[in-house]
Amino acid sequence: VCTSRFWFNYRHVANTLSVYRSVKRLGIPDSHIVLMLADDMACNPRNPKPATVFSHKNMELNVYGDDVEVDYRSYEVTVENFLRVLTGRIPPSTPRSKRLLSDDRSNILIYMTGHGGNGFLKFQDSEEITNVELADAFEQMWQKRRYNELLFIIDTCQGASMYERFYSPNIMALASSQVGEDSLSHQPDLGIGVHLMDRYTFYVLEFLEEIHPASQTNMNDLFQVCPKSLCVSTPGHRTDLFQRDPQNVLITDFFGSVRKVEITTETISLDPDLADFERKLPKDELATEPLRYAEQLPVAQIIHQKPKQKDWHPPGGFILGLWALIIMVFFKTYGIKHMKHIF
Partner 1 sequence: ASAQFQLAVPVTVVFAPGSVPGDLPRPLPFRDVQETEIPVNLRTTVTTRYETIYRSTTAQEDAALEAATAREADAALHPLQDTSLGSLTMYVVPETSSLLPQGISVYVGKHRSALVRAGGGLAALRARLQQLTQVMSFTVSSITAALSDRVPDGQLGPDARRHLKSSLGYEITFSLLNPDPKSHAVDWDIEDAVNRYVQPVLDKLSLVANFSVDSQILYYAVLGVTPRFDKESSSFLLSAHSLPHVINPVEARLGSSAASLYPVLNFLLYVPERSHSPLYIQDKDGAPVSTNAFHSPRWGGIMVYNVEAPASPQASLPLHVDVDMVRVMEVFLAQLRLLFGLSREELPPEFLLESPGNDGLADWELDRLLWAHTVENIATVSTTLTSLAQLLDKIGNIVIKDDVASEVYRAVASAQRAVAELAVGHLHSAFQASKDAVTSSERAFFDPSLLHLLYFPDDQKFAIYIPLFLPMAVPILLSLAKIVRETRQRKKEPTKVD
Residues in contact with partner 1 by CB under 8 A are: 27-31, 79-80, 83-84, 87-91, 95-97, 99, 101, 103-105, 133, 136-137, 140, 143-145, 213-214, 243, 256-272, 274-277, 279-280
Q: Please, are residues 14 and 55 in contact by the beta-carbon 8 Å criterion? A: yes
Cα–Cα distances in Å, from 324 out to 148, 179, 265, 334, 338? 69, 59, 91, 15, 16
Active site residue 338: no
Rounded distance, CA 158 to CA 175, Å?
Answer: 8
Cβ atoms of 2 and 13 within 8 Å: the answer is yes
Catalytic residue among 2, 56, 157, 186: 157
Least distance (Å) from partner 1 to the CB of residue 252?
Answer: 10
Q: Which residues contact 132 (CB under 8 A, 6 or more apart)?
A: 119, 165
Q: How far apart are CB 214 and partner 1 at their closest, in Å?
A: 7
Q: Which residues contact 53 (CB under 8 A, 6 or more apart)?
A: 10, 13, 14, 17, 41, 42, 62, 63, 64
Compute the distance between CA of residue 96 and CA of residue 102 in angstroms, rounded to an integer. 12
Q: How far is the CB of 41 from partner 1 (least distance, A)?
A: 24
Q: Please tell me whether residue 132 adopts helix, strand or coil conformation.
A: helix
- Whichever of 282 and 307 has its CB closer to partner 1, that residue is 282
Q: Is 195 a catalytic site residue? A: no
Residue 209 Cβ vs partner 1, minimum distance, rounded to whole Å:
18
Q: Which is nearer to partner 1, 103 or 206 (CB)?
A: 103
Nearer of residues 265 and 309 to partner 1, judged by Cβ: 265
Give the nearer residue to partner 1 in terms of CB position, either 266 or 295: 266
Pick the catalytic residue from 2, 12, 56, 115: 115
Catalytically active residues are 115, 157
